[in-house]
């Protein structure tokens, strides 16, 4: 009897294993079939949308998108007039085609609202059909990403918006690339946290290879943790802005605003911004690398939209947005950028500490090449030519800032009015050394109002060639080795 029981037990065990394997295989097959079960919906053929743009197609397009299941492609070919927002609420779908979506004139609507993850919008044209009566705000954005992740906005043409181009709120891990944006009233591309709606932080987004003509309105590209300067507990991490071509930006070409951490801005081309080409506010560990900035083409007829002063036109600016953030900007890098034709400052370090400015090429700046008014900065191995002042260590706002532990080392400065100007009375542990200054029309090194000897600060081993006055009013120099050819 025991033998029979053992045989029965073995049979049952074998049957159990077989059933488990059978169910597992069928489950895997079902997953494979579901993932491959892609479909295509044509909004014209399947839902009778008008491809001529003469009649309203909002209802038909919305119904097509609502019917789209996982891995479905919704195709729009033609011109489509809409008078209400298209909402994408189903995840894992693609909206594409050669079509153009046109907003009905006089309507304050967002053209496309993405409210689901893993959505792709690719290859379409969007016409905001802007008019003077439109609300010039987010209410007329072209594409909004709301609390979503892993979406792709690619190769679209966006124009004529009374609001922004592509705006992401509490949106993480998205890619915005190869889009063309022009004739917009608000930011070209924006990512940030919504102060009203709870959700993810806008982290780990990639903004790459887009072309933006800002028509001198607001920022071409703008990321920020919060739209409110009073918010101090929100952060955005590890966003990448790379390879974009932006021009004619009204405020900044690219701005990383409040409480960004680890932002990378690299290999962008920025032409003519009314404020700064790149503006860094209240950020930790920002990296500004290999960007090309040209401010030579600004027309004199352009008026600045926020004040009477339209002559700012800085290159790269580090500036605190709120009072308690002056030391929050920290540990940044400004490396190997090319800056041409800036009007006041090519690189301006007003706030923050421990910023490394290295290997940049600055040419034809009307004002100052590198301006330092903060702590722990290293300005090294830069080439500066045809500017008014090469490098300035200056006090900001009536002696408020102490220049402490700053190194100005191994820079090449030529064809200049003044090579290096030191005009801060609060220099501490500052070193100006091993710099080459050539053809300064006034002074090689000017030290107006500065006394270095009492604060462990040193000027040494600088070489000044073909300059009438190698230095002027520099007091308390230690180890003076200025040479004159």
Is residue 3 in a domain? yes
Domain identity same for 27 and 53: no
4 and 32 housed in the same domain:
yes
Select the more confidently predicted residue: 161 or 89. Answer: 89
Whole-number pLDDT of residue 408: 94
SS3 call for 403: strand
Answer whether residue 398 is part of any domain: no
45-95 pLDDT, tens digit per residue, is 999 999 999 999 999 999 999 999 999 999 999 999 999 999 999 999 999
Q: Are residues 25 and 62 in the same domain?
A: no
Which pLDDT band holds residue 228 (cuts at 50, 70, 90)?
low
How many other β-carbons are positioned within 10 Å of the β-carbon of residue 184?
Answer: 30
Is residue 102 in some structural domain? yes
Could you give the number of structural domains in the chain? Answer: 2
Among 173, 193, 213, give the residue marking a domain's end.
173
- Confidence band, pLDDT 50/70/90 cuts, at residue 481: very low
Residues 14 and 67 in one domain: no
Question: What's the rounded Cα separation, in Å, for the pair 262 and 244?
Answer: 18
Last residue of a domain, one of 173, 200, 225: 173
Examine the domain organization and report whether 115 and 93 are in the same domain: yes
**One domain for residues 16 and 104:** no
Rounded Cα–Cα distance for residues 157 and 166 (Å): 11
Report if residue 385 sits inside a domain: no
User: In which domain, by residue range, is 28 found?
Assistant: 1-37
Task: Point out the domain boundary residue: 158, 173, 188.
Answer: 173
2 and 68 part of one domain = no
Q: Give ∠ CA 247-362-249 in degrees, rounded to 5.
A: 15
Task: Say if 92 falls within a structural domain.
Answer: yes
9 and 118 assigned to the same domain: no
DSSP assignment of 248-265: EESSEEEEE-TTEES-EE
Mean pLDDT confidence for 405-434: 88
45 and 152 both lie in a single domain = yes
Q: Report if residue 243 sits inside a domain.
A: no
Q: Please check whether residues 93 and 141 belong to one and the same domain.
A: yes
Dihedral, 20, 26, 28, 33 alpha carbons, nearest 10: -170
Q: What is the pLDDT of residue 132?
A: 64
Regarding whether 117 and 84 lie in a shared domain, the answer is: yes
301: part of which helix (H) or strand (E)?
none
Has residue 395 been placed in a domain? Answer: no
122 with 70, same domain: the answer is yes
In a domain, 89, yes or no: yes
Q: Is 46 in a helix, a strand, or coil?
A: coil
pLDDT category at 464 given cuts 50, 70, 90 is: confident
Residue 181's nearest CA partner among 147, 199, 154, 146 is: 154
Predicted confidence (pLDDT) per residue in 4-34, tens digit:
555 555 555 555 555 555 555 554 444 444 4
Residues of the chain with pLDDT > 70: what percent? 75
């Amino acid at each position: 009897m025991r033998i029979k029981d053992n045989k029965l037990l073995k049979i049952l065990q074998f049957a159990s294993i077989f059933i488990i394997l059978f169910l597992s295989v069928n489950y895997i097959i079902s997953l494979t079939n579901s993932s491959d079960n892609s479909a295509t919906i044509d909004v014209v053929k399947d839902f009778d949308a008008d491809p001529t743009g003469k009649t309203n197609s909002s209802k038909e397009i919305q119904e097509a998108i609502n019917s789209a299941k996982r891995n479905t492609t919704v195709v729009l070919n033609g011109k489509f007039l809409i008078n209400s927002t298209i909402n994408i609420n189903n995840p894992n779908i693609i909206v594409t085609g050669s079509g153009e979506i046109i907003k009905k004139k006089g309507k304050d609507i967002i053209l496309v609202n993405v409210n689901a993850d893993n959505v792709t919008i690719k290859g379409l044209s969007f016409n905001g059909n802007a008019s003077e009566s439109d609300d010039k705000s987010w209410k007329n954005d072209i594409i909004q990403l709301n609390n979503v992740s892993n979406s792709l906005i690619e190769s679209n043409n966006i124009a004529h918006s009374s609001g922004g181009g592509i705006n992401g709120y509490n949106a993480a891990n998205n890619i915005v690339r190869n889009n063309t944006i022009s004739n917009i009233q608000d930011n070209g591309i924006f990512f940030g946290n919504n102060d009203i709606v709870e959700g993810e932080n806008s982290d780990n987004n990639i903004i790459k290879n887009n072309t933006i003509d800002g028509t001198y309105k607001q920022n071409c590209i703008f990321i920020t943790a919060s739209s409110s300067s009073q918010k101090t507990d929100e952060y955005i991490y590890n966003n990448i802005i790379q390879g974009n071509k932006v021009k004619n930006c009204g405020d900044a070409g690219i701005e990383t605003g409040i409480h960004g951490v680890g932002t990378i801005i690299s290999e962008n081309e920025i032409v003519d911004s009314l404020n700064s080409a790149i503006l860094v506010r209240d950020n930790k560990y920002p990296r500004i690398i290999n960007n090309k900035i040209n401010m030579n083409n600004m027309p004199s007829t352009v008026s600045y939209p926020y004040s009477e002063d339209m002559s700012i036109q800085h290159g790269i600016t580090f500036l605190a947005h709120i009072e308690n953030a002056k030391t929050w900007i920290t540990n940044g890098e400004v490396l190997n950028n090319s800056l041409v034709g800036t009007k006041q400052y090519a690189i301006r370090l007003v706030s923050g500490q421990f910023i490394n400015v290295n290997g940049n090429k600055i040419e034809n700046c009307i004002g100052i090449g590198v301006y330092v008014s903060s702590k722990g900065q290293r300005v090294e191995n830069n080439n500066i030519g045809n500017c008014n002042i090469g490098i300035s260590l200056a006090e900001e706002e009536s002696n408020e800032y102490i220049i402490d532990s700053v190194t100005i080392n191994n820079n090449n400065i030529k064809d200049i009015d003044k090579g290096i100007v030191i005009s801060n009375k609060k220099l501490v542990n500052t070193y100006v050394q091993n710099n080459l200054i050539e053809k300064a029309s006034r002074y090689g090194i000017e030290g107006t109002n500065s006394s270095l000897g009492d604060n462990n600060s040193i000027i040494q081993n600088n070489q000044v060639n073909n300059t009438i006055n190698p230095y002027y009013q520099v007091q308390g120099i230690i180890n003076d080795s200025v040479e004159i050819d």
